[in-house]
Structure 1
């Protein structure tokens, strides 16, 4: 497995050596360099794999396109040539979109302060502002560490000063999404600066614009993520609470969903965002009170063939089923039959099986009456079919084991029919294949009445805490 890294300069030097010393043409020299480094276990993810282009005017040596454009942008900024700056920002953004390696190289060569300077120059010029936001968004995609205080301030100012401009709002929110994904500090700093108010206001002001609506939903979701491995814990829960309590996020999203009932793509974004906000018992009930549950059940019935939408609706149902009263409401609305139908209809889709089994497991938890409905509707069989179809996926295996365990823990009369479906061998296989499944698989086997090794790892004997 690749574990070594090199600089862009080292890679370029080898390519150039192949051209000059071994008289290879550029493409051949590039291929040879790639093979040489990969054979040595070098990770080339962040390397621009292209020969340098001939030098432009005033350049000492050849350079990559993105760096040539960056150099031209610096000169245009220094001479305050706004038209040239605007054009070069677009060209720079287009280069960044070619891949992470291009963005990484530009970032290493101090592209961020250059684009930031161009952004500051754009005050009063809408076209340059749009192009600066575009360039910055492209540059920070996958590189959220680049953002700093000045960039944060300009971003909030753009949202404040251009709240009625859908195009500026769209690009600003896209930039927010890029700098907040996998970056807890940026999320916290932007939330303190009031970004949640602007994101929810964008839905209110531009809810009819599909692109703005989708970007806003995506950005709100990211604010509730806990995906930065560099911090021990984040503020995901607090941010979700703020969106719901201070900005009426759930009501806003459910109203928007009802307005776009015929657009599966937008509905997927909305349902996925609703799922991320249901972090407290009362929020789950709010979704029901606002008509969200009836809407989602109808949506699941009407759009059962749209895989992505089905996955997000199941995710939302799973989330609101954290409330025991809502569990009953879902079952009474016919939700269990539709969940089973969704799993069966999209059995080959890992994510649908995962979310569907997770939803069934939640509905069955502590609810013997719901277990009866799930069993009668074929829920146990659907979960076991998902296990058969995706034996290598630990999440499906774990959630399916959870379904079986919750069904039989308070309804022992279901043990025999579930065992007759072949549950034991599937659960044993899941346990032996996936470490993450061990605990829940043992619990499922135990509650099914199967023989299982329940070792006592520590008894508290042979030792003392006293000195």
Structure 2
């Protein structure tokens, strides 16, 4: 049975009534309103539980997110009428900063903004002449758009998809003229609209998103922010996380990504990003998600991926998070029986056990390590002997295990 919900206006009206009729303070009125509704089984997850008092009136005022949205709407009117002076521009930027701050608080603030036409408003600002000519203005517009879309992929429209993809394609073709942060933010907006939304994912793929991301990866191998966003977007395309559809196309998308040459590019980027552990970890996660077929696992090994993974895994400086992601990649590619043999022959067993011994007190690392070992020995009795021969006593407690 679905839980009962109310609107923000209803909640705010009850708070105001408590203050006017029962002379409660703002804090008391808010607490009493929350208690009343929750006792009736009302789900308040979509409600902003704040009271803002007007400085002059002393009465409950509009929520800051709505005030900022009003300012942005007024800004669009000024732009449309031709008033694009510095004063108008700075006012819009100020409202965008407040809007982003409010939306970053929680989903309730984002839902309130969405219910007041925030998405079309921000889209208009991002498409405006000011956004095309001023990097700071464009950055603030896309930051706000990303904050709004976080957890609300349903807001995305066909026009929004077309605009974001066209912006990315234009930035790719004019790489030297594009602002790296704005480039990354555009890809981030696409990613947020794909998370837990199968319809959007399929619509983006039909519009050529995969080819666009591949081109970006090939042309932008030194910008870590852009690389990580592209990487994360690939992962968003290959998960079945939308409970509203009976089945998704995660496997099909993974196949399309690999067939577009992603594995070679991802491994090349990994080589160039060895100085950035977070990027290496993200790339490893993506490679693992793409290892959905026997031949893909083998291709990663053939392209030198196994050698790179074992090199980083054997590095004492590798963080817990990166080690876990690398171990999960090994588990994924070990689904191929030939790759199991390759891992053992490359000394992978000792490297895996050594990584586990360094972080023996980190449950997630140990779980990932055990998963990798289990995958390597599955259907390969000879590999079981290799594990026993490489037994690392530090896993059972030593000075090393306390690190």
TM-score using structure 2 length: 0.87
Taking the aligned partners of 1:283 and 1:304, their CA distance within structure 2 comes to: 29
Q: Give the length in aligned residue pairs.
A: 381
Taking the aligned partners of 1:24 and 1:346, their CA distance within structure 2 comes to: 55
Q: 2:297 aligns with which of 266, 281, 284?
A: 284
- Residues 62 and 156 from structure 1, CA distance in 2 versus in 1: closer, same or farther, beyond 3 angstroms? same
Taking the aligned partners of 1:161 and 1:102, their CA distance within structure 2 comes to: 32
Taking the aligned partners of 1:154 and 1:205, their CA distance within structure 2 comes to: 21
TM-score using structure 1 length: 0.75
1:189 corresponding residue in structure 2: 203
Aligned: 1:338 with 2:351: yes
Taking the aligned partners of 2:4 and 2:365, their CA distance within structure 1 comes to: 37
* C-alpha deviation, 1:15, in angstroms: 1.9
The correspondence of residues 143-182 of structure 1 with structure 2, limited to 5 A, is 143-163=152-172, 164=175, 165=178, 166-182=180-196
Taking the aligned partners of 1:380 and 1:199, their CA distance within structure 2 comes to: 45
SS of residue matched to 1:341? helix
The correspondence of residues 9-408 of structure 1 with structure 2, limited to 5 A, is 9-54=9-54, 62-80=61-79, 81-82=83-84, 83=89, 84-122=91-129, 124-127=132-135, 128-163=137-172, 164=175, 165=178, 166-246=180-260, 248-303=261-316, 306-378=319-391
Taking the aligned partners of 1:8 and 1:265, their CA distance within structure 2 comes to: 40
Deviation string, structure 1 residues 417-452 (Cα, Å, up to 9, x no partner): xxxxxxxxxxxxxxxxxxxxxxxxxxxxxxxxxxxx
- Asked if 1 retains the 8 angstrom alpha-carbon contact of 2:153 and 2:192, the reply is yes
Instruction: Select the structure of larger CA radius of gyration.
Output: 1
Taking the aligned partners of 1:24 and 1:5, their CA distance within structure 2 comes to: 25
* C-alpha deviation, 1:2, in angstroms: 10
* C-alpha deviation, 1:40, in angstroms: 4.3
Taking the aligned partners of 1:149 and 1:191, their CA distance within structure 2 comes to: 13
- Asked if 1 retains the 8 angstrom alpha-carbon contact of 2:4 and 2:43, the reply is yes
- Asked if 1 retains the 8 angstrom alpha-carbon contact of 2:350 and 2:390, the reply is yes
Taking the aligned partners of 2:144 and 2:76, their CA distance within structure 1 comes to: 14
- Asked if 1 retains the 8 angstrom alpha-carbon contact of 2:51 and 2:60, the reply is no
Taking the aligned partners of 2:318 and 2:94, their CA distance within structure 1 comes to: 44
User: Which gives a bigger RCO, structure 1 or 2 (Cα 8 Å, sep 6+)?
Assistant: 2
- Structure 1 gap segments, 5+ residues each: 386-467
* C-alpha deviation, 1:251, in angstroms: 1.1
Taking the aligned partners of 1:290 and 1:134, their CA distance within structure 2 comes to: 37
SS of residue matched to 1:124? helix
Taking the aligned partners of 1:89 and 1:56, their CA distance within structure 2 comes to: 24
- Asked if 2 retains the 8 angstrom alpha-carbon contact of 1:4 and 1:43, the reply is yes
**Of 336-345 and 259-268, the range deviating more from structure 2:** 336-345
- Residues 56 and 24 from structure 1, CA distance in 2 versus in 1: closer, same or farther, beyond 3 angstroms? closer
Deviation string, structure 1 residues 227-259 (Cα, Å, up to 9, x no partner): 11111111111211222211x211111111111
Taking the aligned partners of 2:17 and 2:125, their CA distance within structure 1 comes to: 37
* C-alpha deviation, 1:77, in angstroms: 1.0
* C-alpha deviation, 1:39, in angstroms: 4.3
- Asked if 1 retains the 8 angstrom alpha-carbon contact of 2:221 and 2:272, the reply is no
- Structure 2 gap segments, 5+ residues each: 398-403
